[in-house]
Structure 1
């Protein structure tokens, strides 16, 4: 089976049999209020198969201001961004630099195909132009899986503001006001950098600090491993942390911990690395030792701790 055929086989078509059910895209909305408005095919896990998947999900869902070189197979210089001015899908700067936006104005069912379409548009667009939305007419039949180096992870840079929107420029009053508005809603965010840790980000919401960690394991196995750690007292990241729950994003589970706001973000990198080792051991042990009754009860408790990203 060819790569594109496999990708299509992994897609999940939403039907209108029960429009009140949660939308398969993972938005948390009812199907009729989300993708039920059209006939688009929903790809529940649009970035599956890419080493960049956890950071792609983070840039799409909760990184406020971030950029990353896109690891394209053809080596073309393209910058992926969390969000562009006006939530545009793509922008070509006057110098020809291409920027693609993750947080865009669309309810498409296949974000991977949208990004490939935005890139195709940008590569033939005039400098100084932008693409507000990727519609069906912009799709090329390719997806990110066809364009990226599959084993190369994304390396996002998290910024404290949106100054990179207008690099080296003195913004006019309108642009300055736009930057001020955008900067005013940024929540301080940092990546946790440590061996075995990828897709984990610390964020200060103003009232609480959290660690959000995008995990790529199958949800059934991941929840079982988390339950085992919970029963063993190893679910926290360390002193000053509390497991808060999890949310789903683009086919992946994102565990969340409340952490001490007084501690610097970098102080959670080491505990996260230690947790990663415990989690790997718990996952490996599931093959030979099914969950005990106590661990099953712990899993039920954890399953009830579903949180909404704000």
Structure 2
């Protein structure tokens, strides 16, 4: 992603030497206080919902989750993967707010973009839509970390279609033909996806891409620690979820790793709950080990690092 110019977030009287509230560790004047955007590589750091947010941004086709605001307003706010027209925000006629995660990013800080869309929606008229978070949505730097409960995970609901786009009509009127057509087009490209609800497991999803089935699992650990743990399991021959479920590689997504396994398409998603729970226990054990990697484990780590793809 290239740099894009936007208005400075600093307002008169702010101290440019203070730490930037994005958590980058840089001074404000060298980060969000600069004229050009700085890429925040881990935009949702510090939130219990970090893995859920990344899944909704990158991997889930149709999903929603109530947004756990620190100060709930009169109108409920729902986070969504994709909104009609890939809008950044929609205010429904009843005043309820939908925020889109899979939108064109304006800045290098996805957390700030979502927060800007929310602030716009809280002041917009019912029936309004924000196509994209652009330079017109400015003000003092506010991030999602400032607006939601940092200790609350998201209660994500995965849908089989985009029927939730169309709210119930009080008068029973049918939706407009163009809305129905857009809904049909969106439904045709959905890849079947289900959460793997194993005990103690979050942000793990089974998906059928048409030719293969996969498990995609957003992990909260720092990349170096997780890669070392996976390498220990690989060296012990314990990296596969089960027979016929091989480790395929991992994505780098917004500062975290997302390990991926190829699965047997003939098995129902619920049949992977026990293998994933058993793997979670093996992974926790490997993460707790603090001894240096052996030669075999270092070779395994290097091989695993070669199977990573960075999402931007």
Q: Which bracket does the TM-score occupy, shorter chain normalised?
A: 0.7 to 0.9
Q: Which runs of 5+ in 1 are unaligned?
A: 14-37
Alpha carbons of 1:12 and 1:189: their partners in 2 closer, same or farther (altered >3 Å)? Answer: farther
Residue 138 of structure 1 aligns to a residue in which SS?
Answer: coil
Structure 2: unaligned runs, 5 residues or longer? 1-17, 28-34
Is the 1:11–1:43 Cα contact (8 Å) retained in structure 2?
no
TM-score w.r.t. the length of structure 1 is 0.86
How much does 1:308 deviate? 7.1
How many Å apart are 1:265 and its aligned residue? 0.8
1:24-35 matched pairs, under 5 angstroms: none
In the TM superposition, residue 306 of structure 1 has moved relative to its aligned partner by 2.1
| Cα distance in structure 2, aligned partners of 1:197 and 1:66 | 18
Please tell me whether the aligned partners of residues 12 and 44 of structure 1 are also in contact (alpha carbons under 8 angstroms).
no
Query: Is the counterpart of residue 173 in structure 1 residue 170 in structure 2?
Result: no
Map Cα deviations across residues 182-201 of structure 1 (whole Å, 9 max, x no partner): 00000000111122211111
Task: Mark the structure with the bigger radius of gyration.
Answer: 2
Question: In structure 1, what is the Cα distance between the partners aligned to 2:69 and 2:19?
Answer: 21
Distance in 2 between the 1:137 and 1:44 partners?
Answer: 24
CA shift for structure 1 position 175:
1.1
Offset of residue 108 of structure 1: 1.9
Aligned to 1:295: 297
2:245 corresponds to: 241
User: Does structure 2 retain, via aligned residues, the 8 Å contact 1:87–1:104?
Assistant: yes
Task: Single out whichever of 191-200 and 122-131 deviates more from structure 2.
Answer: 191-200
**Structure 2 CA distance for aligned equivalents of residues 5 and 175 of structure 1:** 46
Instruction: Decide whether the 8 Å contact of 1:245 with 1:257 is kept in 2.
Output: yes
Q: Which residue in the other structure is 1:128 paired with? A: 127
Secondary structure of 1:183's aligned partner: helix
SS of 1:59's partner is helix
Q: Indicate the structure with greater helix content.
A: 1
Quote how far apart the aligned CAs of 1:303 are: 1.1
CA change 1:5–1:44 in 2 (3 A) is same
Moved over 3 A (4+): 4-9
In the alignment, which residue of structure 2 is the partner of 1:98?
97
Deviations 1:89-135 (A, max 9, x none): 10000011100000112242011111111111111100000001112
**1:12–1:43: 8 Å Cα contact kept in structure 2?**
no
Report Cα offsets for 1:205-261 as digits up to 9, x if no partner: 000000000111111111010000001111111123010000111011110000011
Matched residue, 2:186: 182
Distance in 2, matches of 1:162 and 1:243, equals 31
Task: Give the distance between the partners of 2:241 and 2:153, measured in 1 at CA.
Answer: 24
Q: Secondary structure at the match of 2:78?
A: strand
Q: TM-score, normalised by structure 2?
A: 0.86
Q: C-alpha separation between the residues in 2 aligned to 1:12 and 1:252? A: 20
Of the three residues 187, 202, 221, the one matched with 1:217 is 221
Question: Which secondary structure state, in structure 2, belongs to the residue aligned with residue 212 of structure 1?
Answer: strand
Separation in structure 2 between the aligned mates of residue 214 and residue 61 of structure 1, nearest angstrom: 10
Q: Specify the alignment match of 1:8 in structure 2.
A: 22
**RMSD, aligned CA:** 1.8
2:42 aligns with one of 15, 38, 45? 45
Alpha-carbon distance between aligned partners in 1 of 2:110 and 2:22, rounded to the nearest angstrom: 13
Aligned to 1:70: 67
Shift of the alpha carbon at 1:171?
A: 2.1
